[in-house]
């Protein structure tokens, strides 16, 4: 007996381990979000642009390339110490003081703004994945409700058939149930035909094959959430932060434009190749060195003034775009908050209507069992119950999509 008990416990343990492994292997929504973040080509492109901006920063503080020139005298110029045969020059130009620092500041701010744009794209991708995920959940749940409704109708058909055979009910009751059963079967077929395009849309966001299976949980609850403050929309939205960084970058660009109107200083050296002289002068034939200092003359001021004005207009345009984006963000926030609250109210209403409908069906069925009458009212209430259940599923979908959008707008994609 003890050996049989041990064997039984071993089998149960193996089954529990298998169930646990299977449960862990089924991906959830958070797993799909991670897949999208690592596989979506659009998001990868945004991150690549950020990496490009980082490389730009490394280039911004470099000096201009030095200039090396070589000249050869076709007719050597005779001097007391010998004929000048060729000349080699090397010059390094230096931008005006603070120009390189301003370049680095501008490009560093732009790189930071590119990262904020990447975050915004990632949060938007999360919202799109959720927006594609919950309609599939709605479809699965609606099909399940219709299948449960078919089982109930088949039970009603058996009861009405027995009533008809016993001379209590009417054949019309059986026909009515048949009509509803056929409609339910047709509805299920139509719903199943919608499954593939919804899954294709979802899999494309994850950069997966169109035929990959999308796992949907049997039920998704609506849990109370803490109020998402309106002010957090401004504080946490990455695009608003990106605009701040771009405005600061345009200020640095204006500083660069001003400094470019100043001279560039050049330091260099000339090396002159001198041939041997026929005279016996001391140092005859000795090559000559000549240190040099040069300076650019930015006398064409119009282009420099225009560059400064361009930077000022760019800064103004960015400020206006940021203000417009903030207005749009706030209006979307209010609309989404309204949608979320409406979904919560609908769910509470549907929950009450479902309970009342189930109670009414029980009372009507008890009456029908005794008298064989009012079967049409039973069927009507059953279809009314189905309508409330389907509306409840739609409200759950709307709630979660609105919540996902609210988190996207506030820069808070995770719970």
341-351 pLDDT, tens digit each: 999 999 999 99
CB burial of residue 408 (10 Å; 0-12, 13-18, 19+): buried
CA end-to-end distance (rounded Å), the chain = 52
* CA separation for the pair 312, 250 (Å, rounded): 8
At residue 21 the predicted structure's pLDDT band, cuts being 50, 70 and 90, is: very low
| DSSP strand pairing (82-94 vs 265-274) | antiparallel
- Which helix (H) or strand (E) segment is 360 a member of? helix 301-371
Summarised one tens digit per residue, pLDDT across range 55-73 is 999 888 888 889 889 888 8
DSSP 8-state secondary structure symbol assigned to residue 412: -
- Given a cut of 70, whether residue 103 has pLDDT beyond it is yes
Residue 204: per-residue pLDDT: 95
Kindly list the distances between the CA atom of residue 120 and the CA atoms of 213, 216, 267, 374, in Å, as whole numbers in the listed order. Answer: 28, 27, 47, 59
At residue 225 the predicted structure's pLDDT band, cuts being 50, 70 and 90, is: low
Which of 385, 266, 240, 250 is closest to 316 using CA atoms? 250
Question: Which residues have CB under 8 Å from 123's CB, separation 6+?
Answer: 238, 407, 408, 411, 413
- Given a cut of 80, whether residue 278 has pLDDT beyond it is no
Mean pLDDT of 375-379: 89
Q: Which residue has the higher pLDDT, 414 or 223?
A: 223
Residues facing residue 266 across a β-bridge: 93, 294
Which of 122, 237, 173 is closest to 375 using CA atoms? 173
- Given a cut of 80, whether residue 16 has pLDDT beyond it is no
Q: What are phi and psi of 373, to 5 degrees?
A: -115, 170
Whether the Cβ atoms of residue 93 and residue 265 lie closer than 8 Å to each other: yes
- What are the DSSP E strand ranges found in 275-409? 288-295
Residue 279: per-residue pLDDT: 63
Which of 119, 106, 124, 127 is closest to 50 using CA atoms? 119
* CA separation for the pair 98, 100 (Å, rounded): 6
Which of 412, 390, 349 is closest to 142 using CA atoms? 390
Place of tokens 């049409």: 376
Tokens of 303: 């282009």
Residue 415: per-residue pLDDT: 46
* CA separation for the pair 326, 402 (Å, rounded): 19
Residues facing residue 265 across a β-bridge: 94, 295
Residue 280: per-residue pLDDT: 63
Q: Which residue has the higher pLDDT, 87 or 349?
A: 349
| This prediction's pTM | 0.83
Residue 186: per-residue pLDDT: 95
Which of 98, 112, 94 is closest to 252 using CA atoms? 98
* CA separation for the pair 343, 349 (Å, rounded): 10
- Given a cut of 50, whether residue 306 has pLDDT beyond it is yes
């Amino acid at each position: 007996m003890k050996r049989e008990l041990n064997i039984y416990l071993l089998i149960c343990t193996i089954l529990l381990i298998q169930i646990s492994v299977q449960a862990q292997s089924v991906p959830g929504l958070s797993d799909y979000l991670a897949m999208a973040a690592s596989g979506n080509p659009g998001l990868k492109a945004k991150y690549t642009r950020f990496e490009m901006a980082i490389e730009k920063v490394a280039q911004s503080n470099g000096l201009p390339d030095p200039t090396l020139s070589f000249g050869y005298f076709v007719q050597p110029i005779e001097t007391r110490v010998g004929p000048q045969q060729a000349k080699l020059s090397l010059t390094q130009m230096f931008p005006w003081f603070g120009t390189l620092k301003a370049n680095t500041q501008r490009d560093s701010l732009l790189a930071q703004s590119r990262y904020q744009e990447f975050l915004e794209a990632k949060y938007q991708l999360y919202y799109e994945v959720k927006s594609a995920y919950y309609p599939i959940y709605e479809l699965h749940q609606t099909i399940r409700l219709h299948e449960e409704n078919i089982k109930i109708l088949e039970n009603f058909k058996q009861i009405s058939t027995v009533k008809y055979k016993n001379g209590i009910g009417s054949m019309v009751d059986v026909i009515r149930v048949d009509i509803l059963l056929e409609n339910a079967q047709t509805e299920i077929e139509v719903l199943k035909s919608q499954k593939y395009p919804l899954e294709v849309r979802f899999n494309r966001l994850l950069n997966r094959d169109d035929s990959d299976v999308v796992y949907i949980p049997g039920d998704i609850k609506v849990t109370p959430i803490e109020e998402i403050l309106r002010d957090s929309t401004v504080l946490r939205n990455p695009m608003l932060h990106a605009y701040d960084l771009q405005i600061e970058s345009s200020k640095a660009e204006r500083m660069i434009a001003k400094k470019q109107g100043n001279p560039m200083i050049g330091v260099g050296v000339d090396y002159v190749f001198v041939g041997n002289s026929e005279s016996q002068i001391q140092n005859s034939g000795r090559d000559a060195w000549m240190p040099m200092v040069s300076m650019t003359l930015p006398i064409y001021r119009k282009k420099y003034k225009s560059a400064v004005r361009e930077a000022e207009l760019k800064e103004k345009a960015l400020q206006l775009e940021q203000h417009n984006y903030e207005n749009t963000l706030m209006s979307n926030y209010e609309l989404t908050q309204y949608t979320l609250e409406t979904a919560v109210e609908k769910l509470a209403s549907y929950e009450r209507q479902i309970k009342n409908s189930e109670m009414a069906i029980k009372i009507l069925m008890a009456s029908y069992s005794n008298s064989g009458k009012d079967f049409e009212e039973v069927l009507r209430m059953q279809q009314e119950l189905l309508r409330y259940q389907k509306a409840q599923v739609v409200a759950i979908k709307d709630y979660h999509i609105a919540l996902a959008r609210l988190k996207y707008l506030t820069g808070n994609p995770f719970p």
